Amino acid sequence: MSKIKIGSTTLNFSLHIYLMGILNVTPDSFSDGGSFQTVDAAVHHAKNMIRDGAAIIDIGGESTRPGAKEVSTEEELQRVLPVIKKLAQETTIPISIDTSKAEVAIQALNAGASLVNDITALQGDQKMAEVISEYDVPLCLMHMQGTPKTMQKHPTYGDIIQEITTFLQKQITYATQQGISQDKIIIDPGIGFGKRTGQGIEDNCEILHRLTELQTLNCPILVGASRKTFLGNITSSSLPVTDRLEGSLAAATIAAYNGANIIRSHDVKETRRCLDIVECVLKH
């Protein structure tokens, strides 16, 4: 797929690799939890990311870090809605709502969001597919083994890319059966979500290395490796989140070169500069 329309914006993947800026309005996200808990701080940060090259802002109100506990629908809505409303009023940037709850998706879409990023790939809430179909908006389906609370306990794989591909194809088929057009579906292999790391097996690296194999699904590919644990684990010593910029940029560069259409990142300015180089190389 060469294009996708999100709100009034068309992303043309034959021309660009796009950036999704991460905006977590949570107290406990693994990287930036607690950093943007006021509406003004969150919107200011979003505008900075837009200035630095973000094409989409992905707003999340529930942490999905390993071991994270679920929050109520009410709490999630209280966190995300004021930010979405203000950002939608003050910019024209496509806004993604990072949620697995149908009610949160409904209210976020009504407030100005135009993309749903569901880490459960429609498995978390039976009503989500109906919402996406009714609102006729793009949807991102992600692979995850388990739930955020359990996903890193004992993940196991045979051929990881084959298993991810099989799962995503199943969910694409389910989505289309529920009335969601395939040309509105984005796929995400779920870097860091129920993937093995730090014990001699680096599933995330294999995903990045074999990413082109996911192109058989004929959907835009989103990759989010930014600041994740495996980047610290594969260096000479385990690095804290604040020291994972170089690893994040390396992962983003490899992902983009191997076929990712959208890179999800905390560090938008630096990542955009890397993607500019990748785009130039790919055009020659």
Catalytic residues: 228, 264
Is 143 in contact with 188 (CB distance < 8 Å)? yes
Q: What CA–CA distance (Å, rounded) separates 31 from 52?
A: 19
Residues 42, 23: contact at Cβ < 8 Å?
yes
For residues 243 and 235, give the distance between their C-alpha atoms in angstroms, rounded to a whole number.
11
Q: Is 116 helix (H, G, I), strand (E, B) or coil?
A: strand
Closest C-alpha to 20, from 122, 148, 113 = 113
Beta strands, E only, 79-190 = 95-98, 115-118, 139-142, 185-188
Q: 115, 96 in Cβ contact below 8 A?
A: yes
**Residue whose token pair is 């290395």:** 209
* Buried/exposed code over 155-179 (b: 16+ C-beta within 10 A; e: otherwise): bebeebbeebbebbeebbeebeeee
Read off φ and ψ for residue 177, nearest 5 degrees: -65, -25
Tell which residue, 209, 7, 2, has the closest CA to residue 116. 7
